[in-house]
Structure 1
């Protein structure tokens, strides 16, 4: 028997570990039971819109619907001299901290970083499914020059690699 993980095991999940500790018998407690006990279905459904986003397609570019405005697109289009990949990279940029902007509880930086990689993985799957004729680079990064972990994606030509070692071409 072989177990194949879709995403790496979760680490630094403080709330999950605290939940487990409240039980005198912890055998059999797992993430699925935690979700059953602590998470509301509506929250899970709404979060699926982050993992499986809606898109706007314009001028052969693919953009996150949540980030897209025609005015900003037009400005960036001019700045990038019509380079659709550059415009995609800018407009599809998401700070993971901003997704949870109202979270008042302390959260490990590790959790945000893990989440950025899960979101990037999911976006890659969605982009492959929704745009089978296009190649995309999906990047999850955590640069000191930025405000925490970020995710973006942009189209790349056939055979081209992503600019950063953390990204990967989605075909």
Structure 2
């Protein structure tokens, strides 16, 4: 038997660990037990919009709908001197700390990085599904310069 994980094992899950400790018999309790007891289906659907976003295709570029505006597009075209891959990289940039706003306090930085990596993984899949003839780079990074974990994507010209 071989176990193949789609994403790295989830670690530093304080709410799950705290929840699990409340039970005298913890045998068989896993992350799916936690989901069954603590997570609402609407939360999963809402979060899925980060994993499987809506895209805008404009002037040969592919952009996250959540980040797109004509004003931002014009600014980025100017900043990137017309390099569409750079325009995409700038406009598709998502800072994970900002996604969770008020819920970031007390959360392990490793959780945010895991979430960022999971979003990057999902974007690679959905971009391949929605744009099968286009090659993309999905960048996941974590630095103080970028204010923590960030994810972005852009087309690679072939």
If the length of structure 1 is used for normalisation, what is the TM-score?
A: 0.90
Q: What is the rounded CA distance, in whole Å, between the counterparts of 1:11 and 1:75 in structure 2?
A: 39
Which residue number corresponds to residue 83 of structure 1? 83
Q: What is the rounded CA distance, in whole Å, between the counterparts of 1:131 and 1:39 in structure 2?
A: 32
Which residue number corresponds to residue 167 of structure 1? none
Higher RCO (Cα < 8 Å, 6 or more apart): 2
From the superposition, tell whether residues 2 and 105 of structure 1 become closer, same or farther in structure 2 (CA, over 3 Å). same
Q: Structure 1 stretches of 5 or more lacking a match?
A: 159-171
Deviations 1:15-51 (A, max 9, x none): 0000110000111001111001001111111000001
Which residue number corresponds to residue 33 of structure 2? 33
* Matched pairs, number: 158
- Runs of 4+ residues over 4 Å off in structure 1: none
Which residue number corresponds to residue 141 of structure 1? 141
Do residues 54 (structure 1) and 57 (structure 2) align? no
Which residue number corresponds to residue 15 of structure 1? 15
From the superposition, tell whether residues 88 and 148 of structure 1 become closer, same or farther in structure 2 (CA, over 3 Å). same
1:1-171 to 2 correspondences below 5 Å: 1-103=1-103, 105-158=105-158
SS in 1 for 2:102: coil
SS in 1 for 2:136: strand
SS in 2 for 1:149: strand
Q: What is the rounded CA distance, in whole Å, between the counterparts of 1:149 and 1:104 in structure 2?
A: 12
Q: What is the rounded CA distance, in whole Å, between the counterparts of 1:118 and 1:80 in structure 2?
A: 28
Query: Shift of residue 79 of structure 1?
Result: 2.5
SS in 2 for 1:114: helix
Q: Structure 2 stretches of 5 or more lacking a match?
A: none
RMSD: 1.0
Specify which structure has the higher proportion of helix. 2
